[in-house]
């Protein structure tokens, strides 16, 4: 949800026009927390056409995503929003820039 909101409130495309799925909790300090059902979410991400899946790096979430063994789905482990945004930039996405109103 956080990445979607940032993308909607920014110029450009955070994902570089790749279909990217993501899961995890978001703490006020930007830390990404573990969630349940990651293996099933990896299957759903692949079935929806995603080629990348951003997953919390902790509590077995990465192992669960990889256990789903979905071809052509690259798992991107992250511990923070900052890491997720950096991974998206490496995929060709743009840095978030606020949309401003004309004066």
pLDDT in tens, 4-59: 999 888 888 899 989 999 999 999 999 999 999 999 999 999 999 999 999 999 89
Helix (H, G, I), strand (E, B) or coil at 89: helix
Q: Where are the domains of the chain?
A: 2-89
CA distance 11 to 98: 7
CA distance 92 to 58: 26
Q: Pick the closest to residue 71 from 90, 47, 38 (CA basis).
A: 47
pTM given for the model? 0.90
What backbone torsions phi and psi does residue 54 show, to the nearest 5 degrees?
A: -85, 125
Q: What is the pLDDT of residue 46?
A: 98
Q: Pick the closest to residue 35 from 54, 52, 56 (CA basis).
A: 56
Looking up tokens 């004309």, which residue turns up? 102
From the candidate CATH numbers 1.10.357.10, 3.60.21.10, 3.30.230.10, 3.40.630.30, the one assigned to the domain spanning 2-89: 3.30.230.10
């Amino acid at each position: 949800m956080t990445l979607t909101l940032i993308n909607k409130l920014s110029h450009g495309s955070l994902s570089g026009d790749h279909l990217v799925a993501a899961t995890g909790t978001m703490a006020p300090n930007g830390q990404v927390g573990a969630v349940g059902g990651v293996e099933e979410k990896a299957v759903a991400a692949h079935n929806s056409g995603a080629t990348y899946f951003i997953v919390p790096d902790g509590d077995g979430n990465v192992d669960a995503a990889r256990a789903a063994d979905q071809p052509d789905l690259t798992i991107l482990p992250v511990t923070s929003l900052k890491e997720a945004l950096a991974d998206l930039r490496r995929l060709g996405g743009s840095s978030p820039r606020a949309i401003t109103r004309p004066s």
